[in-house]
Homo-oligomer: A and B are copies of this chain.
Amino acid sequence: MFRALRKLGHMPALPVEESEQHRSGPLLDHLARRMRLRSESVLAPLGLRPRHLVALTVLRDSDGISQQGLASTLQIDGTNVVGLLNDLEAEGLVERRRSPEDRRRHVVSLTAAGAKRLREAECALAVAEDEVLGALGPGERDTLYELLRRATSGRPMSCVEASGDEPDPIC
């Protein structure tokens, strides 16, 4: 915005017009924490924990994903995915089938029960969400949801291709 103006004027001592470079990372962290705390209590009766919800939500959108695909989008170690899926499969919310083309793979998908439980959980989450997002109006919450959905549905971005993207941190 104002950056273009800086080149004219001799700029005597004007020591850098404060970058106003506020990042959303910390806010995201903060908000997610508050949400997670609230969610735990309303989710407990359903036998689920926040991270199960995350997994189920991801599974709804990318059904038939492999376990390491899941590990990569969830950004957690493969060994932990096993435990996570064990929980979910034990309750019949998720299904592991061997992939036909590569029988080493497990194709993970949401069961009908899983989809149902997810909907119930989302319904229960409305309470938590109301408390945490209380400062936002309904329209804003929709916008937020949409932005989050778009942001998370992006590719996991492998480091290989990530290397050339950004010029460099010059700031």
- List residues of A whose CB falls within 8 A of some B CB: 2-3, 5-6, 18-19, 21-37, 39, 50-51, 53-54, 56-58, 74-75, 119, 122-136, 139-154, 157, 162, 165-166, 169, 171
Residues of B within 8 A of A134 (CB): 154, 157, 165
Q: Is the CB of A25 within 8 A of B153?
A: no
Q: Is the CB of A162 within 8 A of B131?
A: yes
CB pairs A–B below 8 angstroms (8 shown): A24-B144, A24-B148, A25-B50, A25-B53, A26-B57, A28-B31, A131-B157, A144-B147
Residues of B within 8 A of A2 (CB): 139, 143
Residues of B within 8 A of A144 (CB): 24, 144, 147, 151
Determine the residue in chain B with the shortest Cβ distance to A145.
B24
Residues of B within 8 A of A165 (CB): 130, 134
17 further A-B contacts with Cβ under 8 Å, apart from A127-B169, A144-B147, are A2-B139, A2-B143, A3-B146, A5-B146, A19-B119, A23-B125, A24-B129, A24-B141, A25-B39, A28-B32, A28-B148, A34-B152, A126-B169, A127-B166, A136-B150, A140-B150, A147-B147
